[in-house]
Amino acid sequence: MKTDQLKVGLAQITPVWFNREATLEKVIKYIEKAASQGVELIAFGEALVPGYPFWIEPTGGARFNAPDQKEIFAEYANQAVQIEAGHLDEVCAAARDGGIAVYLGIIERAKGRGGHSLYCSMVYINWTGKICSVHRKLQPTYEERLAWSPGDGHGLTVHELGNFTVGGLNCWENWMPLPRAALYGMGEDLHVAIWPGSKRNTHDITPHMAKEGRSFVMSVSALMRPSDIPKSMLYFKEIMEPVKNKEFLADGGSCLCGPDGQWIIEPQVGEEGLYVASINHAKVREERQNFDPAGHYSRPDVTKLIIDRRRQTTVETIDE
């Protein structure tokens, strides 16, 4: 039976960098922990599995045809997630066993695009353990473009969860007005924004999106310190030297706002943890009394958005 109440969990954790299997084990433990607390939706940070490409900036990643960049990327691709190979099967099983929905940030090595280019993807797994959408980041940001490929609109969609309609975007996609508008138009009233970890971003955009969409907004970040870079990492010394005096590479900043733009969970900095809150859909309906961006406060006769949700591919096969 659908209800107005929904218990959500923000999992702010550190990846086991460049280790898909170990990071997924950690994800599963947090899913189990959240399920034991009655959480119905848990979200994890952007690119959590197997981690954000923090090596690019300190090693001069824009050097063309550089042997070190090739070698690091090759291992990054090797540790990336290929859904078709079953890499998320145990995560799906944990979601099913716990009766909990999951948003998980991964680096996807998509078999349908040749299997070697990488996408920053946001995977939604429902409470029955079914992968319902895989949203590939539309536009990687700045140096991310040296590791990640641009995505498409296939996963730009929403899902029913109790009385809520939930959707989400990766990191700076949340600054893109049209993808936000697309989700609003599909009825989104619980927005999940995932990040590699930065209070400077989540502190500003989270209440902005909440007020604009009159929606609940969860910003969920990862956490990363220089000390979290494994000593076995390729080119460890070269990566560490420029960052060794930094306290954080990603400081977290996970938070939750209500549809009035007020904090429910203020940005959490510097600590791993599972942050839990109960939200009430009635608050969405209250705030949409005076502003509904895709309803009474829209003018589709003047402005309208077109969404292409076809999965991009370079090959189309026609068999007899």
Q: How far apart are CA 244 and CA 76, in angstroms?
A: 21
Active-site position among 26, 137, 199, 211: 137
> How many Cα atoms within 13 Å fall on the side-chain side of residue 4?
7
Does residue 132 have an active-site annotation? no
Asked if 8 and 41 touch (Cβ cutoff 8 Å), the reply is yes
Contacts of 48 (CB under 8 A, 6+ apart): 13, 15, 23, 27, 104, 105, 106, 222
Closest C-alpha to 141, from 76, 211, 56: 56
Q: How many CB atoms lie within 10 A of CB 316?
A: 5
Does residue 171 have an active-site annotation? yes
> How many Cα atoms within 13 Å fall on the side-chain side of residue 101?
21
Helices 89-98, 20-36: crossing angle, 10 deg rounding: 0
- The DSSP 8-state label assigned to residue 147 in this structure reads T
Active-site position among 46, 173, 188, 287: 46
Does residue 29 have an active-site annotation? no
Active-site position among 26, 92, 144, 171: 171
Residues with catalytic roles: 46, 137, 171
